[in-house]
A = this chain, B = another copy of it.
């Protein structure tokens, strides 16, 4: 879990992937990760009026892809997305960088948080030049099994 959190912290930006409302296609966009909690919960600021909010209202199934070539961090996260309209939490997570999206700051009425709770995390080892899956976090801890060549089992958080 620590390794996962550390890798996410290395990457400021991820692709947040939702299901289009037609249920047919995936919809993804770069999103800045505001915070990752100690239990792996990931927080994002967004506009309440955005398509992704509508998509999450329709399907809470979201994924996060991180492919950070410079830090060599690769993660694929499946999880549940929840919309959190909590001004106290927004204040806690606020950073001045967010003014680029929300010039009104915390008073912006068109602001909501997305919290992604991961239920499956796959990550690839950063020190391996051949990009082998060294392990799948919890599964590896439980079974001691090593996966090879980007092929791997599933873990459940």
Q: Which residues of A contact B (CB under 8 A)?
A: 11-15, 17, 25-32, 47, 50-52, 63, 65-70, 74, 76, 78, 100-101, 120, 122, 124, 129-131, 133, 149-152, 154
Contacts and interface: CB of A to CB of B under 8 A. Distances in A.
A101 B149 contact: yes
A78 B27 CA distance: 8
Given A51-B151, A150-B31, A151-B50, A25 B120 contact: yes
Contact of A11 (B29, B51, B69, B131): B69
Contacts of A17: 17, 26, 63, 65, 76
A131 B14 CA distance: 12
Contact of A150 (B11, B29, B150, B154): B29
Residue from A11, A31, A150 whose CB has the most chain B CB atoms within 10 Å = A150
Nearest to A66: B67
Contacts of A76: 15, 17, 26-29
Contacts of A151: 29, 47, 50-52
Contacts of A52: 150-151
A112 to B, nearest CB: 13
Q: Which 7 A-B pairs have the closest CB atoms?
A: A28-B76, A100-B130, A30-B74, A70-B70, A65-B65, A29-B150, A15-B65
Given A13-B69, A28-B122, A65-B65, 16 more contacts: A12-B69, A14-B67, A15-B65, A17-B63, A17-B76, A25-B78, A25-B120, A28-B76, A29-B133, A29-B150, A29-B151, A30-B67, A30-B124, A51-B151, A52-B151, A67-B67
